[in-house]
Structure formats: C-alpha cells, structure tokens
C-alpha cells in the first residue's frame, strides 16, 4: 500500500487556515495544520511531508526557518502572503526558496 501523502499548512489566521483546508479537502492528502513556527518545526521534526504551504508572517517570526527545515527533508514549500512586498520575496529567496516556472 502506498504511503499517505501529507501537506503541512502553516497559517496564523484561523479563517484563512479553514479556507485552505476546505480547498484541499478534495485532494487525497492528509492535512496537518499549525499556526506558529514552533509548531511547524515540531511537526517537521516528527513527520514527513510532501509539501508545505506557509504564511510568511507569523506571530513568532517569519517562515524562513520552516522553508529551510523542509528543504533539509527535500520537501517543497509554497509561501503565501497577503502582502506584495519585494522584501518578503527577497527574504524567501535568500532563505533558500526558489522561483516557480
């Protein structure tokens, strides 16, 4: 039997987190939700994910540490933010993110 695919959702806005979960419910993925970097890192340490969907700005910092932790496990990360700022894009790339083509 194949391994169950998993997505880590990291978002501190409960309403947006619920929206993401509803959108992903039709997929065959198991969803793990968390709202802080600390929670996200704990999940990454204890589980294997196929993808992380991450808010950039969180109550305990930004998601660069999460991106780097996922990269160490060869896991894709998608950063979502409601702010269109060049500094955020620059920080993601400097933190190890790559551009989607």
pLDDT computed for residue 96 by the predictor: 59
Pick one of 3.40.50.2300, 3.40.50.1820, 3.40.630.40, 3.20.20.70 as the CATH number of 6-94. 3.40.50.2300
- Report whether pLDDT(4) > 70: yes
Percent of the chain past pLDDT 70, that is, above it, reads 79
Q: What are the pLDDT digits (tens) for 24-52?
A: 888 889 999 999 999 999 999 999 999 99
The helix/strand count (H/E) of the chain reads as: 4, 6
Q: For the chain, what is the mean pLDDT? A: 83
Please check the confidence at residue 68 and state whether its pLDDT lies above 80: yes
The pLDDT value given to residue 101: 34
| pLDDT value, residue 93 | 60
Q: Which neighbouring-strand residues pair with 9?
A: 33, 53
Q: What is the pTM of this model?
A: 0.80
Q: Which pLDDT score is estimated for 86?
A: 62
For residue 6, give the nearest of 31, 43, 24, 26 by alpha carbon. 31
């Amino acid at each position: 039997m194949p391994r169950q695919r998993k997505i880590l959702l990291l978002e501190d806005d409960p309403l947006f987190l619920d929206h993401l979960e509803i959108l992903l419910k039709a997929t065959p993925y198991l969803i793990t939700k968390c709202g802080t970097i600390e929670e996200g890192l704990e999940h990454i340490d204890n589980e294997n994910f196929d993808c992380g969907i991450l808010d950039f700005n969180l109550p305990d910092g930004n998601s660069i540490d999460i991106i780097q932790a996922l990269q160490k496990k060869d896991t894709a990360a998608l950063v979502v933010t409601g702010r269109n700022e060049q500094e955020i894009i620059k920080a993601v790339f400097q933190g190890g993110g790559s551009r989607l083509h």
